[in-house]
């Protein structure tokens, strides 16, 4: 069941909300829509709308309409996925936009008034989608019973039920499907497997992808399409006549099939047959009425019900019923080549000057590729660079460019903003402030440093120690690197220089126990802060990772810092995610990495991308401190502005 | 006279003749060198006037003309924005979600001048009342969008900082709120322009809401700590910050003479008011505050 459907503008005003049960989100904490906006849409993860975002027991799917600045969100129980969510997210935006431009004089400026009567339209769309999905599901079951014969039957059924938009149409459809299945047995069994009952919930993206694939495999898919079309024809004729047309349909089906295997050369024949089918379906009086009532839209939505293979063709079917002699060619042209044509050359320049240019994917692709490359050159992990630019592009497509702005400039601007947003920490970690608060509460503040070998854990720790000492805190260092020989004496050297005690129990001990004992001593002696140094370890070393998780679990440190090198590219992300995952896998507490210390920042010049990779991939773990040299004083705060500037210059 | 026309003459000689002849031909004047010089002189006078005017207005009112709504996410800024734009009418409120972009609108004001504020609602004073509207900007509270704060505050005539008076009872929320408020208060533009600040303690209709006085005290305590902590802050990796000096000056202005920070000692007006955006309570206070700020 759909728990909530919300249309919200970018300013946060809820323009329409459908929620059958008023109390469904009580006690959930953050409303799923709010969670989606603040955790996904504002964090540069918006590119992959194909997979739902999960908040608690709810799942959200969304659609961005950048031209009018609206977000459509559907919320449902994630344990009960809904088949028709994608259909709904496809059909509602168009309906809402037409509704809304009719209601408001200026379609570009969402006026929150006059749109209250959208409820009816929405419920109608919802009912349609529901019944269609239901029909598709039942058709799928029938198809199973008939061993894959029902691919036509389903298409016809989906069409029937959809065009009618009512459940009462279903019995008819079922009948038709049954007839169809038995009559067209030969035609169906070849491709029945291609249209399993799960297909109707294929996401919109997949359909688009399939559309692209279709261009490559026109002939092969055409076969299915013709079948779908023929199914309708067959059913229509059967509605009135006896079984003889069924035979002829079958024959035609076979002819078609062999032809389709020859692919290219038969497109015209196929087109002709499609057109014929369209005629066929309008032959019977009832179907005529249906066709008139539902025409193109019906076909469109039928696409969704019919699944990938049928769907793609049905698009073309609709264009063929519009009378194009070569529907397949037409369909392709409309999809791919007409847009770029319109936006090249002088016309595009003119549009830029007048500020009427609407950004399309084709415009953004080269610019975004260039920007992604630039990010990669600045050491941003390649997957992060691509995810980021894709997310920025998905936020730009459909927007209208301001006048005198080039696509490149707009894209750069948007990326700059996205980077700033991502790097700006959601929760500011102020070590001094928190240590101060702990001291006032009479507690010991404990910090754990972790990371792989040689990234500078001990050095960073000594710098933090110096900084804390400067601010009047008493510090104890816990030497929990009981693994690497020389680790303890290294810390003792630091401790001597800084005038800080080092708590150690020699090599080979249990790090968790050492840390526990150190904290215990700090409590007894009234020391403010305990800095816990751990052994460097590789993510794949599972015994050591378990030991680390145990240390965290036993001591529940107030701050867990991951030390990462600023030099690394893709590795940094893997390391961070590995540590995080290990703490989740091996630990039972919810404690995890709170922040990142970026070491060796002085050695990277403008290749500051590691910071972006780590923050983005980890979903917003902030960079707390930056190490910039060999001295105790070489520790700095992280400047978002500076890093963004270095990345974008 | 000749020396006055020296510069225009030079420019007129340097300009292609056809450009200057066009307006002369339209005005029906002879296309002589002198006339061309006059054309150039006229253009220069107009341009100089424009520049002088813009300079003067920018120096007289450095403060912008915009009312800026700030605050943490989920405190009710967008709701307050809706009510304020509707002139205090809370009947047609829309539900709100987290904002991704700022909302802009016009805040209708009864801009009361000196007479009318002196005598409350005297019929004669009413005559001096005239209506005006101020642009109001509702900035998203999401921390990732905090970078927009600086520019918004620079263009503000008045700042309204919205606090969730119910949630602020929680120590953690209070700390985060105080940090945000402090960030706003130490903006150089606030101190330099003496931008008035209204702390709108929202959700006062809920029984468990903190009173404005309690919030004022609690926030003052938190901000004192923040000012103390500020010296311990590490230098940023960025290094050259162009307005570091201005920030230091702003901070110095906020630093209290005694140990404890006090909102009353701040060099610009800070007021606390209770309200409830959902019911429209307190919106009149807001309008009055804003009209005062604008009349100053």
Q: What is the reported pLDDT for A154?
A: 43
Spatial distance between the Cα atoms of A109 and A105, rounded to a whole number of angstroms: 9
What does the pLDDT read at residue B59? 46
B77 to chain A: nearest residue by CA? A12
Residue B8 DSSP SS3: helix
Tokens standing for A217? 């495999």
Residue bearing tokens 């020391």:
A527
When the pLDDT of each residue in chain B is averaged and rounded to a whole number, the result is 81
Mutate to test the interface with A, among B71, B173, B237, B243 (most CBs of A within 10 A): B237
User: What is the structure's pLDDT at B229?
Assistant: 79
Residues of A in contact with B232 (CB under 8 A): 432, 467, 470-471
B226 contacts in A (CB within 8 Å)?
433
What CATH number has the domain spanning B64-295? 3.40.50.300
Report d(CA A565, CA A600) in Å as an integer.
6
- Interchain contact, A11 vs B78, CB within 8 Å: yes
Q: Per the CB < 8 Å rule, is A430 touching B140?
A: no
Which of A428, A432, A637 shows the shortest CA–CA distance to B176? A428
Q: How far is CA A496 from the centre of its chain?
A: 51
Q: Which of B73, B99, B236 is facing A636, going by the closest CB pair? A: B236
Give A37→chain B minimum CA distance, Å: 6
pLDDT at residue A532 in the model: 95
Closest CA to A588 of A532, A546, A541: A546
- Helices and strands, counts by H and E, chain A: 25, 13
**Residue A58 neighbours by CB under 8 Å, 6+ apart:** A3, A28, A32, A75, A76, A77, A78
Give me the DSSP letters along A183-233: HTHHHHHTTGGGS-TTGGG--HHHHHHHHHHHHHTHHHHHHHHHHHHHHHH
Number of A–B residue contacts, CB under 8 Å: 112
- Write down the pLDDT at residue A465: 95
Residues of chain B with C-beta less than 8 angstroms from the C-beta of A467: 232, 234
Q: Where are the domains of chain B?
A: 2-59, 64-295
What DSSP state is assigned to residue B211? P
Contact A11 B147 (CB under 8 A): no
Q: How far apart are CA B154 and CA B193, in angstroms?
A: 9
Q: What is the pLDDT of residue A392?
A: 87
Residues of B whose CB is below 8 A from A625:
234
All domains of chain A, ordered by start, with CATH?
2-133 (3.30.450.60), 358-423 (no CATH), 431-648 (3.40.50.300)
pLDDT in tens, B117-128: 444 444 444 444
Partner residues linked to B274 by β-bridges: B201
- Which residues in chain B touch residue A41, judged by CB atoms under 8 angstroms apart? 100
* CB-CB under 8 Å, A601 with B100: no
Q: Does the distance separating the beta carbons of A426 and B99 come in below 8 Å?
A: no
Which chain B residues are closer than 8 Å to A621 by Cβ? Answer: none
Q: What mean pLDDT comes out for the span B17-28?
A: 81
CA A190 vs CA A98, A141, A257: distances in Å: 42, 18, 9
Chosen from A5, A7, A12 to mutate, greatest number of chain B CBs within 10 A? A12
Query: How many whole angstroms from its chain centre is CA A193?
Result: 29
pLDDT at B198: 93
User: Is B100 a residue whose pLDDT tops 50?
Assistant: yes
Rounded to the nearest angstrom, the minimum Cα separation between B117 and chain A is: 34
Calculate how close chain A gets to B259, using CA atoms only, in Å.
17
User: Contact B99/A641, CB-based, under 8 Å?
Assistant: no
Question: CA neighbours within 13 Å on the CB side: how many for B247?
Answer: 11
Q: Which of B95, B143, B232 sits opposite A17 (nearest CB)?
A: B95
DSSP track, A127-143: HHHHHHHHHHHHHHHHH
Distance spanning both ends of chain A, measured CA to CA:
49
Tell me how close the Cα of B232 comes to any Cα of chain A, in angstroms: 6
Select the residue of A15, A17, A426 nearest B143 (Cβ to Cβ). A426
CB A565, CB A609: distance < 8 Å: no
Q: How far is A286 from chain B (nearest CA, A)?
A: 45
CA-based nearest residue in chain A for residue B173: A427
**CB distance B97–A37 less than 8 Å?**
yes
Taking an 8 Å cut-off on Cβ atoms, the answer to whether A428 and B145 are in contact is no
Task: Please report residues of B whose CB lies closer than 8 A to that of A10.
Answer: 99-101
Q: What share of chain B is helix, strand, coil (3-state, %, to 5)?
A: 50, 15, 35
The B-side interface with A (CB below 8 A) comprises 73-74, 78, 82, 92, 94-103, 138, 140, 142-147, 175, 179, 225-226, 229, 232-239
Are the beta carbons of A468 and A432 closer than 8 angstroms? yes
Q: What is the Cα Rg of chain A in Å?
A: 31
Min CA distance, A425 vs chain B (Å)?
A: 7
Q: A12 and B235: CB-CB below 8 Å?
A: no
What is the mean pLDDT, run by run of 10 residues, along chain A of 649 residues? Answer: 86 84 77 85 66 83 82 86 82 81 50 63 85 82 53 42 40 42 39 40 45 43 39 40 42 43 44 45 43 42 37 37 37 38 58 68 87 90 88 84 80 90 85 89 93 91 93 93 89 93 90 94 94 92 91 92 86 89 84 91 86 87 91 89 88
Q: Which residue of A has its CA nearest to B143?
A: A426
Contact predicate A159/A177, CB 8 Å: no
Q: Which of B95, B101, B226 sits opposite A11 (nearest CB)?
A: B101
Distance from CA of A417 to the nearest CA of B (A): 9
Residue A473 has a pLDDT of 93
Do the Cβ atoms of B191 and B268 come closer than 8 Å?
A: yes
**Pairing between strand A70-77 and A595-599?**
unpaired
Q: Does the distance separating the beta carbons of B143 and A427 come in below 8 Å? A: yes
HSE on the CB side for B205, CA within 13 Å? 8
Contact yes or no for A11 and B99 at CB 8 A: yes
Inter-chain residue contact A14 with B96, CB threshold 8 Å: yes
Give the ranges where chain B is alpha helix by DSSP (H): 6-14, 17-27, 33-60, 77-85, 114-118, 123-126, 149-154, 171-185, 188-193, 212-230, 244-254, 283-295
Can you read off the two tokens belonging to residue A104?
A: 């408001």
In this model, does residue B233 exceed pLDDT 90? no
Question: Residue B73's closest chain A neighbor by CA?
Answer: A38
Are the C-beta atoms of residues A546 and A586 closer than 8 Å to each other? Answer: yes
Nearest CA to CA, how far is B174 from chain A (Å)?
A: 13
Instruction: Give the residue on A whose Cα is nearest the Cα of B76.
Output: A12
**Candidates B85, B226, B232, partner chain A, best to mutate (most A CBs within 10 A):** B232
The answer to whether the CB atoms of A433 and B229 lie below 8 A apart is yes
Which pLDDT score is estimated for B296?
65
């Amino acid at each position: 069941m759909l728990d909530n459907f919300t249309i919200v503008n970018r300013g946060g005003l809820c323009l329409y909300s459908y929620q059958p049960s008023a109390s469904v989100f009580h006690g959930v904490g953050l409303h799923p829509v709010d969670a989606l906006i603040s955790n996904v849409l504002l964090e540069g993860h918006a590119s992959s709308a194909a997979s739902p975002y999960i908040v608690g027991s709810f799942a959200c799917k969304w659609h961005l309409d950048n031209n009018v600045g609206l977000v459509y969100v559907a919320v449902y129980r994630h344990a009960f996925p809904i088949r028709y969510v994608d259909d709904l997210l496809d059909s509602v935006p168009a309906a809402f936009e037409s509704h809304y431009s009719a209601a408001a004089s200026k379609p570009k400026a969402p006026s929150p008034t006059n749109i209250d009567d959208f409820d009816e339209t929405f419920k109608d769309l919802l009912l349609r989608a529901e019944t269609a999905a239901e029909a598709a599901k039942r058709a799928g079951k029938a198809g199973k019973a008939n061993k894959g014969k029902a691919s036509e039957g389903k298409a016809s059924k989906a069409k029937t039920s959809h065009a009618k938009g009512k459940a009462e149409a279903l019995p008819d459809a079922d009948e038709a499907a049954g007839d169809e299945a038995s009559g067209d047995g030969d035609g169906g069994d070849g491709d029945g497997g291609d249209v399993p009952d799960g297909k109707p919930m294929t996401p919109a993206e997949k359909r688009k992808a399939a559309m692209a694939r279709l261009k490559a495999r026109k002939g092969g898919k055409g076969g299915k399409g013709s079948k779908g079309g023929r199914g309708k024809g067959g059913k229509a004729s059967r509605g009135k006549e006896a079984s003889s047309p069924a035979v002829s349909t079958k024959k035609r089906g076979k002819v078609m099939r062999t032809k389709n295997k020859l692919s290219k050369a038969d497109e015209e024949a196929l087109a002709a047959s499609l057109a014929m089918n369209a005629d066929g379906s309008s032959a019977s009086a009832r179907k005529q009425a249906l066709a008139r009532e539902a025409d193109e839209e019906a076909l469109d939505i039928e696409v969704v019900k019919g699944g990938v293979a049928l769907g793609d063709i049905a698009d073309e079917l609709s264009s063929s019923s519009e009378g194009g002699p070569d529907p397949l060619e037409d369909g392709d042209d409309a999809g791919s080549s007409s847009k770029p044509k319109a936006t090249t050359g002088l016309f595009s320049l003119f549009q830029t000057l007048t500020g009427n240019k609407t950004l399309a994917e084709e415009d953004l692709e080269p610019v975004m590729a260039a920007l992604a490359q630039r990010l990669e050159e600045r050491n941003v992990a390649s997957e992060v660079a691509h995810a980021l630019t894709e997310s920025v592009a998905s936020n730009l497509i459909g927007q209208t460019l301001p006048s005198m702005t080039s696509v490149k400039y707009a894209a750069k601007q948007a990326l700059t903003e996205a980077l700033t947003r991502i790097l700006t920490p959601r929760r500011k970690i102020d070590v001094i402030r928190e240590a101060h608060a702990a001291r006032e509460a009479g507690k010991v503040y404990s910090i754990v440093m972790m990371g792989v070998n040689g990234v500078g854990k001990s050095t960073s720790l000594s710098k933090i120690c110096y900084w804390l000492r400067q601010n009047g805190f008493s510090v104890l260092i816990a030497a929990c690197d009981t693994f690497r020989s020389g680790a303890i004496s290294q810390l003792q050297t630091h401790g001597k220089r800084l005038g800080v005690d080092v708590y150690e129990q020699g090599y080979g001990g249990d790090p968790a126990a050492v840390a526990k004992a150190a904290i215990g001593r700090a409590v007894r002696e009234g020391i403010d802060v305990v800095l816990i140094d751990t052994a460097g370890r590789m993510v794949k070393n599972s015994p050591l990772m378990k030991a680390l998780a145990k240390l965290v679990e036993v001591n529940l440190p107030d701050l867990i810092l991951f030390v990462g090198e600023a030099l690394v590219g893709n590795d940094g992300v893997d390391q961070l995610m590995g540590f995080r995952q290990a703490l989740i896998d091996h630990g039972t507490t919810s404690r995890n990495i709170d922040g990142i210390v970026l070491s060796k920042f002085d050695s990277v010049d403008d290749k500051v991308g590691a910071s972006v990779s780590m923050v983005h991939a980890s979903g917003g773990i902030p960079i707390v401190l930056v190490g910039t040299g060999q001295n105790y004083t070489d520790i700095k705060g992280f400047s978002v502005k500076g890093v963004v500037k270095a990345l974008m210059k | 006279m000749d020396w006055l026309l020296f510069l225009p003459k030079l420019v007129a000689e340097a300009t292609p003749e056809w450009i200057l002849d066009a307006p002369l031909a339209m005005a029906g004047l002879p296309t002589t060198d002198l006339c061309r010089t006059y054309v150039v002189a006229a253009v220069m006078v107009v341009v100089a006037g424009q520049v002088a005017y813009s300079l003067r207005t920018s120096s007289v009112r450095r403060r912008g003309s915009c009312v800026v709504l700030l605050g943490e996410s989920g405190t009710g800024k967008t709701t307050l924005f809706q009510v304020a734009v509707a002139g205090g009418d809370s009947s047609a409120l829309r539900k709100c979600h987290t904002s991704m972009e700022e909302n802009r609108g016009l805040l209708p004001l009864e801009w009361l001048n000196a007479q009318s504020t002196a005598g409350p609602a005297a019929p004669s004073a009413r005559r001096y009342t005239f209506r005006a509207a101020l642009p109001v900007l509702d900035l998203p509270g999401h921390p990732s969008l905090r970078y927009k704060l600086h520019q918004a505050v620079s263009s503000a005539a008045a700042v309204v900082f919205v606090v969730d008076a119910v949630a602020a009872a929680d120590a953690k929320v209070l700390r985060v709120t105080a940090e945000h408020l402090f960030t706003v208060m130490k903006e150089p533009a606030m101190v330099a322009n003496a931008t008035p600040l209204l702390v709108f303690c929202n959700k006062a209709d809920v029984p468990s809401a903190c009173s404005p006085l309690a919030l004022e005290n609690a926030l003052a305590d938190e901000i004192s700590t923040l000012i103390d902590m500020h010296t311990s802050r590490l230098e940023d990796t960025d290094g050259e910050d162009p307005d570091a000096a201005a920030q230091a000056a702003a901070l110095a202005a906020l630093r209290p003479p005694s140990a404890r920070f006090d909102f009353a000692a701040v060099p610009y007006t800070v007021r606390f008011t209770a309200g409830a955006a959902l019911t429209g309570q307190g919106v009149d206070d807001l309008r009055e505050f804003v009209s005062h700020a604008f009349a100053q």
